[in-house]
Amino acid sequence: MNLESSEISKLYLVPTPIGNLEDMTLRAIKLLKEVDVVLAEDTRTSGKLLKHFQIETPMLSHHMHNEHKMVDRIVKRIQAGENFALISDAGTPAISDPGFLLTRACIENGIEVECLPGATAFVPALVNSGFPNDKFVFEGFLPVKKGRQTRLKMLSEETRTLIFYESPHKLVKTLGHFEEYFGENRMVSVSRELTKLFEETRRGTLKEIKEHYIEHPPKGEIVIIVKGNTQK
């Protein structure tokens, strides 16, 4: 659909590649060229993406530090007839990235929201783990301090496959916490640099994988998949 022929202005949530630019969909490229404004988590990062696909749509910065004060302003502009697309630095907006607040505000104000399908880091990591994926729990980033122990204690009894995001410099520490609460023999799969040149997935017990990354400090974005508690 050509946005110019539509009488209804919308908010579009548009996934972007998590590494490999060839994962950008044709529909996403077309839509980003047609909207009035692209909301970007980091305009410098997104500027490179838009330039690569020859997208000249104006950008506005929309990130976790300014989204609260931006929401009302954006809602009013959409109500006035402008179409906005929201993108994050990588992956699908609102999945451990800004997007929820604006989406909720649009829905509450009767604005139509449309989310395009596309790249999300945890899906390939989950499927590639070899662990049961008919039921799973997405935890994203764990609390840094407050509430972390309580959360891990609760999750230790979870029978569904667990999904976490983590930064490379915190991976070993987090695997140590998992080892403490889930047991050193619980199976884990760690995927990093998904879709990129040095993509890697390592599978084993929490003890084995933690020891590997102590000896080989990791780089890049990381998804941790932990097998659910199968003990009765």
Strand boundaries in 128-216, DSSP class E: 136-140, 161-166, 187-192, 200-205
Task: Give the bridge partners for 187, in sequence order.
Answer: 205
Which one of 3.40.1010.10, 3.40.50.2300, 1.10.390.10, 3.40.50.10490 gives the CATH number of domain 3-115? 3.40.1010.10
Q: What's the pLDDT score for residue 232?
A: 64
- On whether the CB atoms of residues 199 and 219 are closer than 8 A, the answer is no
Quickly tell me which residue has 């999904």 as its tokens.
163
Q: What's the pLDDT score for residue 66?
A: 86
Quickly tell me which residue has 């007839």 as its tokens.
81
Q: What's the pLDDT score for residue 67?
A: 86
Could you give the CA distance from residue 140 to residue 30 in angstroms, rounded to a whole number?
30
Q: What's the pLDDT score for residue 6?
A: 62
pTM for this prediction: 0.91
Indicate the SS3 state at residue 77. Answer: helix
Region(s) of the chain under CATH 3.30.950.10: 122-226
DSSP state of 56: -
Q: What's the pLDDT score for residue 3?
A: 74
For residue 108 the two structure tokens come to 């509450």
Which one of 3.30.1490.20, 3.60.20.10, 3.30.950.10, 3.30.70.890 gives the CATH number of domain 122-226? 3.30.950.10
DSSP state of 227: P
Region(s) of the chain under CATH 3.40.1010.10: 3-115
Could you give the CA distance from residue 176 to residue 210 in angstroms, rounded to a whole number?
7
pLDDT digits (tens, 9 = 90+) for 53-106: 999 999 999 988 888 899 999 999 999 999 999 999 999 999 999 999 999 999
Residue numbers of the chain with a pLDDT score lower than 50: none
Task: Give the bridge partners for 192, in sequence order.
Answer: 200, 222
Could you give the CA distance from residue 146 to residue 134 in angstroms, rounded to a whole number?
31
